Amino acid sequence: MQTIVSDNEYYSVGFSLGKLDGLLNDGLLNGGLLNDGLLNDGGRNGLITYNYHMSGFKNDGWVVGTGIGFYDEKSYTQLFTHERISPSKKALFTIDIGYKF
């Protein structure tokens, strides 16, 4: 979700909340599709963004910006090893460049 900052139609702030799901985790590689495999719950994330829209917020065009947030990582087994990684929370920082249609 994004909104324009005051009357300036070139800057916007936004936020994103979500959950990541993985396909190639330990359950799939060890033969279990339903137990920690294809249907595994992923980590949660949240992000606040600040963007500059070069052609204006309401128009198609290039967008550059940045974002900060968190990623709540669940425990998992590393690819091709049996080492279990403990759950943790991590900070996110993004630099965004893209084209908005």
The residue extents of the domains of the chain are: 2-100
Q: What pLDDT shows up at residue 37?
A: 42
Quote the tokens at residue 18.
Answer: 């979500």
What is the CA angle 81-87-88, rounded to 5?
A: 120
Q: Do 35 and 25 form a contact (C-beta atoms < 8 A)?
A: no
Minimum mean pLDDT among 19-23, 92-96, 97-101: which range? 19-23
Position 32 pLDDT exceeds 50:
no
Asked if pLDDT for residue 30 goes beyond 50, the answer is no
- 48-81: pLDDT as tens digits: 999 999 999 989 999 999 999 988 877 666 667 7
